[in-house]
Amino acid sequence: MGSASSMLTQYDIEEVQEHFTQQEIVSLYKRFCQLDRNAKGFISADEFLSRLLKMVDGLNFKDFVAFLSAFSSKASTPQKIEIIFKIYDSDGDGKVVFNDIIEVLRDMTGSFMSDEQREEVLNQLLNEAGYSRESPLLKNDFIKIFDYEGLRMEMEVPID
């Protein structure tokens, strides 16, 4: 994913509209521009959720939409799991270990939960799924855990 300048064009809209409607794309572009505080045409790690951007150098608009498209209702579960796996696999080694998950949970829960509570919840979740805290999880393990009927990993794009 790149750091090239980005202006919304009809070509950009056509290229990404398999994931969102034209109205949603325009709304996403407005949000993208708000996040691109320096108006450079890409979102730096400081401008966006730095945890999610550990996997990229910066996002132009098309990259931004491609990333978010994994959470659209049109995306398949494997596409969604691919992005979630990349979020947890912060070092890019192809596996997620206990501490990777704890780090994401810490980012998501903040002071709402203590480290002990996070570890207890994660240990219980892993045990119920047939894993232990020593088990490195590969992408296939994520598919096994997340690919079940009724799981909704979707977002709605607010239309301004």
Q: What is the pLDDT confidence band of residue 92, given thresholds at 50, 70 and 90?
A: confident
Give the chain's mean pLDDT: 75
- Return the structure tokens found at 57: 């150098």
Give CA–CA dist 154/80, Å, rounded.
9
Q: What is the CATH number of the domain that holds 96?
A: 1.10.238.10
Same domain, 84 and 63: no
Given a cut of 60, is residue 26 above it in pLDDT?
yes
- Does the pTM surpass 0.75? The reply is no
Same domain, 54 and 98: no
Given a cut of 80, is residue 34 above it in pLDDT?
no
Same domain, 103 and 63: no
15 inside domain: yes
Q: What is the CATH number of the domain that holds 27?
A: 1.10.238
Tell the burial category of 80 from Cβ atoms under 10 Å away from its Cβ (0-12, 13-18, 19+).
buried
Give CA–CA dist 73/79, Å, rounded.
11
- Return the structure tokens found at 80: 């969604």
Q: Measure CA of the first residue to CA of the last residue in the chain; give whole Å.
A: 27
3-state secondary structure of 139: helix
109 inside domain: yes
Q: What mean pLDDT comes out for the span 112-134?
A: 86
Same domain, 57 and 85: no
Same domain, 45 and 86: no
DSSP 8-state assignment for residue 73: T
131 inside domain: yes
Instruction: Supply the range of the domain harboring residue 103.
Output: 77-146
84 inside domain: yes
Of 69, 86, 112, which residue sits at a domain end? 69
